[in-house]
A and B are shown apart, each in its own frame.
With several copies, the nearest count.
Chain A
């Protein structure tokens, strides 16, 4: 049995195949009959799962996993195999750090201005900086009260989505 833990839309789905039963799979422990066909040589797949028909489009996002579109929606998906998952479990819950709060760019954009400096005390919802994206100026505010530990960007800088902007203590 091959097992994968798939992270999709904020939850984890366990998918398993049995090498001895081709065309069968288990989704969160429920057995399904599945037929998967790639359409032409396009990254488009037709899945029949217990007779239900689905059409999915797939894109690789390097370093991030897969982006899968179905029924008008698009999901960012990460797949772990069983062993990797076991290791992660032993190492404790993933990705949760201590008392500091990173503020990351929620979208790519241009930093128009920065309203705080390292050492500043900020209140919750106080403006940290302004990010221009798609011709709109977006105010980024402090998610909680705290002290600014570091500011990683300056005005005029272009930032990618997820870029660390400010760290609050």
Chain B
């Protein structure tokens, strides 16, 4: 790769930092990782060429410190900055700061980020480009009273959304007027915490709709193509849990219409680099522009698997000024891809965060299985950051095979020490609605019953627990007896058991 840069600073952590390191290295680019004090041992630190500490554990004191990141880039002679997703990825001021320091920002221009980051301006721009938008306010609402007035006009349920937001943060669904005040306060406070701006706007909450998003990518020569859709309707509290490409809801004709709308929205923002245009799609196959995410998306791998493209490599190339080298007709979707997000949350306990230290680990592999992960034996899962640990992504020639492959892969995954969302995914994959692809954004919260009945493997878990407990008791007794009358034998147990458990 001939580029104006040879070394890239990765202003992120976790699996996406690892993902970006891999892409850089495959392009022959040097990599500089940054880490907070909580992440000194992290995988991205170990896999990068260089690594520098950016501050204490809280993100505000480390990964969100734009100036410190630029300073590290300068110190390490990095010439480009890849922001990943989250943190500063959609912060126009940071993009501007990077540019002003003479570095390449691997993402769109600050103006494009600012336009699409202001959800209110983004709606206007999309509408001006002929893309239909969801009914709602045309600007921020100033307080609860104004929100209540708007909600009354467009009708409940409504969605309160952070004007500066993205990624499901600072959003609340409100179904009845009496819940509005509390939800407004929470969403505004969360938005302020996450984006430094508490402003909200109000949208009609469409029901029975799918969340369908289109990956787009553009270069600085005005070429913009879309890389097909992703189905992201499996959500909980507006957070995506499972994504797939393509969607069972689209045919070629609808794909082409929505894809053209996505490209039009991107063009309206004079968009360069990779981005995602999100739509809601109703049962009548009418679609509405929701927002545009001006960054790499968590779920980008499903698009990679069905297109055969490497999106991060493409990001780096277009950031380096290369032309896209890909026309819309060159994009061919092949087979089916599904991603499951594996988070440190306990699905049996309302998805509450599970902290702890990751024990023995085996990630799945084999045909059609990809794992993008930041896991390692010894990882201390903390509350400082997002609970996403890894993504399992499978590809197969067709959707039923992909679902079976995912089932197999998740069943192979071993993560000691922390609860994860794997049991949830295993259950979801078996549901007839999911198997038929008959899902919408409310499916998970309204029609997904938590597991009932006892788990299949309770007996064998109990057996091992009893064996280990007994072994320990025997050893304590033996140690005691040894002081009195020499080493004790553990008596009744088979040689195999005794020998194999003794190291425990």
Contact = CB atoms under 8 A, between A and B. Distances in A.
The reply, when asked whether chain A contacts chain B directly with Cβ atoms under 8 A, is yes
B33 A15 contact: no
B488 interface: no
The range of chain B's interface size is: 35 or more
B355 A161 contact: yes
A58 B494 contact: no
Contacts of A72: 410-414, 420, 422-423, 425-426
A11 B246 CA distance: 41
Contact of A56 (B380, B385, B461, B495): B461
Contacts of B190: 136-137
B458 A9 contact: yes
Nearest to B381: A134
Interface in A145-162: 161
A2 B470 contact: yes
A9 B451 CA distance: 11
B504 A38 contact: yes
Interface in A1-34: 2, 4, 6, 8-11, 13, 15, 17-23, 25, 27-28, 32, 34
B352 interface: yes
A53 B186 contact: no
A52 B461 contact: no
A165 interface: no
Interface in B460-481: 460-470, 473
Given A53-B50, A137-B193, A73 B416 contact: no
B360 A66 contact: no
Contact of A39 (B376, B411, B455): B376
Nearest to A141: B182
Contacts of B142: none
B360 A43 contact: yes
A104 to B, nearest CB: 11
B462 A6 contact: yes
B383 A109 contact: yes
B504 A40 contact: no
B483 interface: no
Interface in B415-472: 415-420, 422-423, 425-426, 454-470
Nearest to B31: A53
B465 A6 contact: yes
Q: Is the interface of B mostly helix, strand, loop or mixed?
A: mixed
A59 B28 CA distance: 31
Contacts of A6: 461-462, 465-466
Contact of A75 (B414, B455, B500): B455
A69 B169 contact: no
A108 B415 contact: no
Contacts of B250: none
A106 B411 contact: no
Contacts of A109: 353, 383
A71 interface: yes
Contact of A57 (B237, B359, B458): B359
Interface in B477-504: 491-497, 500-501, 503-504
Given A11-B454, A69-B414, A133-B352, 15 more contacts: A4-B465, A9-B461, A11-B458, A39-B41, A46-B40, A47-B460, A66-B465, A108-B383, A109-B353, A132-B193, A133-B353, A135-B169, A135-B193, A135-B386, A136-B237
Interface of A: 2, 4, 6, 8-11, 13, 15, 17-23, 25, 27-28, 32, 34-49, 51-59, 61, 65-75, 77, 79, 81, 106-110, 112, 127, 130, 132-137, 139, 161
Interface of B: 33, 40-41, 45-52, 76, 169, 182, 186, 189-190, 193-194, 237, 348-350, 352-360, 376-380, 383, 385-387, 410-420, 422-423, 425-426, 454-470, 473, 491-497, 500-501, 503-504
* 9 closest Cβ pairs, A-B complex: A40-B378, A19-B492, A22-B494, A13-B462, A6-B462, A15-B466, A57-B416, A55-B46, A72-B422
24 contacts: A6-B466, A17-B466, A27-B463, A37-B40, A38-B503, A42-B360, A49-B459, A49-B463, A51-B52, A53-B50, A55-B414, A57-B360, A59-B359, A70-B460, A72-B426, A74-B423, A81-B469, A106-B349, A109-B353, A110-B383, A134-B387, A135-B193, A135-B385, A161-B352
